């Protein structure tokens, strides 16, 4: 794969952004006390959400999670650090010298089109880049267009589409260089290869049928000829 045929002068130090929480995220929340080795007082806060165990919570479509003692809390748009501080403030009356750990269970990226290993890719981390996703998909196929990759992202209830050129180092400046939860990557194929592949698929699917139709037409023509000669 050829990278950075242009735009090399635009490469600088990349600044990662803290990932914010979205509906559909799974959050792992662990609560403990620093006051004693006995963690019984924190146990009730480690029960987890509905249908979950071990302190795992699914963010609902309203951007909320339902937490022990404090009920529904709006978490959409917060970073895990911000949520950690919020929970420490809310749960302090229930646990002495409370400590809280918050992390995203995983980031899921969907990859379709001309990747060698397309599909759903899951990352046990909070920062995922285009190159990490491309590596998980084993790179492009020979027919994939490096300069025509789409990143489709849901933002504030709106679907936005970004076009990426993997040959241009300016992709480091793209708002989608650092991927987000449920981003969709689509690798395109050039028109001639698409038409060639479509023709091959058509031949594979309908070739036997066309052969039978040709044979039928030949037999029918012979039959008509025989009938005509016998008149």
CATH classification of the domain holding 31: 3.30.1950.10
Helix (H, G, I), strand (E, B) or coil at 144: strand
What is the pLDDT tens value at each position of the chain, 231 positions in all?
Answer: 556 556 666 566 778 889 999 999 999 999 998 877 777 778 878 876 655 556 889 999 999 999 998 999 999 999 999 999 999 999 999 988 999 999 999 999 999 999 999 999 999 998 999 999 999 999 999 999 999 999 999 887 889 999 999 999 889 999 999 999 999 999 999 766 556 655 566 456 655 655 666 656 655 655 565 656 666
Last residue of a domain, one of 84, 104, 124: 104
- Domain assignment of residue 205, yes or no: no
H-only helix segments in 12-136 = 40-43, 80-91, 130-136
**Count of domains observed in the chain:** 2
Look up the pTM and report it: 0.72
Q: Are residues 57 and 37 in the same domain?
A: yes
Closest C-alpha to 178, from 125, 102, 113, 112: 125
The answer on 113 and 161 residing in a single domain is: yes
Residue 167, domain member (yes or no)? yes
The domain of 168 spans: 8-14+107-191
Bin 51: left if φ > 0, else alpha if -120 < ψ < 50, else beta. Answer: left
């Amino acid at each position: 794969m050829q990278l950075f045929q242009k735009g090399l002068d635009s490469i600088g130090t990349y600044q990662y952004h803290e990932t914010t929480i979205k509906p559909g995220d799974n959050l792992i929340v662990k609560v403990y006390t620093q006051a004693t080795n006995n963690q019984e007082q924190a146990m009730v806060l480690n029960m987890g959400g509905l249908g979950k165990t071990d302190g795992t919570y699914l963010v609902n479509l309203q951007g909320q999670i339902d937490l022990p003692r404090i009920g529904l809390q709006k978490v959409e748009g917060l970073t895990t650090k911000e949520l950690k501080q919020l929970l420490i403030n809310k749960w302090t009356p229930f646990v002495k010298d409370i400590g809280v750990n918050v992390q995203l269970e995983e980031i899921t990226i969907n990859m379709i089109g001309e990747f060698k290993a397309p599909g759903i890719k899951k990352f046990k981390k909070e920062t995922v880049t285009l190159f990490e996703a491309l590596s998980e998909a084993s790179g492009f196929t020979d027919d994939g267009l490096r300069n025509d990759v789409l990143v489709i992202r849901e933002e504030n209830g709106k679907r936005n589409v970004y076009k990426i050129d993997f040959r241009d180092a300016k992709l480091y400046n793209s708002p989608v260089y650092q991927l987000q939860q449920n981003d969709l990557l689509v690798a395109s194929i050039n028109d001639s290869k698409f038409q060639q592949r479509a023709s091959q698929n058509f031949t594979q699917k309908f070739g036997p049928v066309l052969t039978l139709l040709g044979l039928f037409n030949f037999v029918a023509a012979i039959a008509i000829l025989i009938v005509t000669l016998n008149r």
